[in-house]
Each structure stands twice: as structure tokens, then as C-alpha cells.
Amino acid sequence: MSTQPPDASAPAIRCRGLHKRFGETVAVKSLDLEVRRGECFGLLGPNGAGKTTTIEILEGLTPRDGGEVEVLGMRWEADGPRIRAHLGVQLQESEFSDRSTAEEVIRLFRSFYPRGWSVDELIGFVQLDEKRGTQVRNLSGGQRQRLSVACALAGAPDILFLDEPTTGLDPQSRRQLWDVCERFRERGGTILLTTHFMDEAQALCDRLAILDHGEIIAQGTPGELIRGLGGAYVIGFTASVPVSEAALRAIPGASRVAARDGETLLTVDELAHALPALLQAVGAAGGELTALSTHQATLEDVFLALTGRELRDE
């Protein structure tokens, strides 16, 4: 339904050496990124990592201080209006006219695009059929967010930009929004999204870049990033006596030892071999376990391993 821009072989987004500062603060530091056609790419990082600045530069809304940006093989400086017609943008915390109905808002946004889906198709796509006549001020957070995505989809875009799309939503609303994203992907769409939820990144993204202090500190598929930890499981425990790091490293399959909030975190290959060995090591040190938990390694663990901090600064 959307016409391809001239250079269909160009990646959806490519940027090199992207740089942005606000006064003294460097928001984005020589950032390189390539988003392929048809993939869902995530920028994952804590609040203040530079995700929004990066995505808004790529959307052509924030001027950059340095570096190069190409969207669908075109440059903002030369082809701004042409690029716009192929993008769908959802901004963090942007609102719609309170007194317009969902349908009226969608019709407004649809009118800006020379081609795209019909208003009815858009309403159906984001499952707002029952709320089409409801004024924006009476919509729930999840419904507003789906409305926002419907507006971003109005021009049948090649690339959909989503900035923290599920922040503040309840689990069911998040799920519904993820469904919308997946259905957009099934139609061949490309998504670039920012999030500070590792489960969201894991569920939606083909590839990710982890951002911290304006820099990409790791990049790859969720699987690659987790495998990069060196283990598939994380054991968290506290013991009545200190256990030496050397003893922990001697546990079969153990690849990483870290401490957090008085708890020791041990990354291992397989729980079946590691757990008995851990009990033994604690026993050998003359103490016993006072708490024990295990989970499959996640992107949260990747971030913790890379920065020593937690992703969600709550």
C-alpha cells in the first residue's frame, strides 16, 4: 500500500557518528546505528541515557550537532518532506486535543498523508472500534496510546517510531500494544522503538542497542546479548558467612560473580550442576544459605553486568 522510495535497497535507518549536546551536557556521543528493513530495532537504556534525543534526531525533529543520518536512503536536509510521508511517529508524552473523538483525531492525521489506510482500517487495526466516538479525555492510558499509534500509522509508513510506547500502561494494555506492533511487522513494516523495559525489548525486538550515557555499550539480538554474559541462568543468594570469589568461580559453569544489595549474583550455564556445587562451597566456608533465588538470564542481567547498575532506576 505504501510506495517504496527510490532506493529500496538502502537500510531503513543508518547513522554514523551522531553527536548531540545540550549546553554542557553531552546527550549523544558518536553513535553508529543501522536498522534494516522489516526489523524491529530497540534502543534500550535507563532514563536519561539519550534514547529520546537519538530517536528524535532520527525523526528529523531535533537538529544534531554532528554525524550523518540517512532515513530510507534519504537525508533530512535534502528530502525532509519526502521522508515525512514515509514515517509514522509516536512521541513520548504528546497529547491530542482533549475534546476530539478518537475517530476525529485519526481522520485529522489521515488527512496529512497523500496515501495510506482508511480511517476505518486504522480504527480496526488498533482495536478502538468501540471507542471511536469517545472524546480523547475519556480514553484510558492504553487507549490513548493505541490512538497515538493509529495516527502514526495513518500514512501506511515504512518506518514506525515508538518512544517509550508502554510506559505507564497496565500489563493488558502493554500486551495489546505489542500485538499492534507485531501486526504492523507482519505487513513488512520496520519499527524503531525506545524502552527501558527489558521484557518489552525481549518480546518485540529482533535486534537491540543498549544505551548508557549517550553511548551504545552493546548491540545485537537479545539472544546474542544474553549469551554474551557467558551463562543462561543467574543464581542470587545470601549466606551466613562470606564465601570467597575464588570458591564461587570454581563452581562448574560459573562465568560471572557480582554483588547487588548484599546479595551475590552468580551467572551459570546449568542450574543442575551449579546449585549442588554452590551448597558445597557455602558449607565448606562453614555457613549456610539464608536466601536463594534463580532466574533465566535476561537483558536486565546484561545491563547490570555491563554497567554495574540496574536498568530501571526505581
C-alpha count within 13 angstroms, C-beta hemisphere, residue 291: 9
Contact status: 63 vs another protein (CB under 8 A) = no
Taking alpha carbons only, the member of 58, 162, 180, 70 closest to residue 117 is 180
Contact status: 199 vs another protein (CB under 8 A) = no
81: number of Cβ within 10 Å: 7
Contact status: 171 vs another protein (CB under 8 A) = no
- Sign of dihedral through CA atoms 114, 84, 167, 41? positive
Distance CA 121, CA 116 (A): 10
Binding mask 4-43 for another protein (x = CB under 8 A): ----------------------------------------
Contact status: 81 vs another protein (CB under 8 A) = yes
Of 6-14, 108-116, 120-128, 192-200: span binding another protein (CB under 8 A): 108-116
Distance CA 275, CA 311 (A): 27
Cell representation of residue 312: 530501571
Contact status: 2 vs another protein (CB under 8 A) = no
Among 93, 186, 313, 314, binds another protein (CB under 8 A): 93
Give whichever of 69 and 239 is closer to another protein, judged by the CB atom: 69
Alpha helices by DSSP H, listed for the chain, are 51-58, 76-84, 102-111, 119-125, 141-152, 171-186, 198-204, 222-227, 245-249, 271-284, 299-307
Distance CA 182, CA 242 (A): 47
Contact status: 233 vs another protein (CB under 8 A) = no
Contact status: 61 vs another protein (CB under 8 A) = yes
Binding mask 124-163 for another protein (x = CB under 8 A): -----------x---------------x--xx--------
The helix (run of H) or strand (run of E) holding residue 282 is helix 271-284
Contact status: 217 vs another protein (CB under 8 A) = no
Binding site for another protein (CB under 8 A): 59-61, 81, 84-85, 87, 89, 91, 93-100, 104, 107-115, 118, 135, 151, 154-155
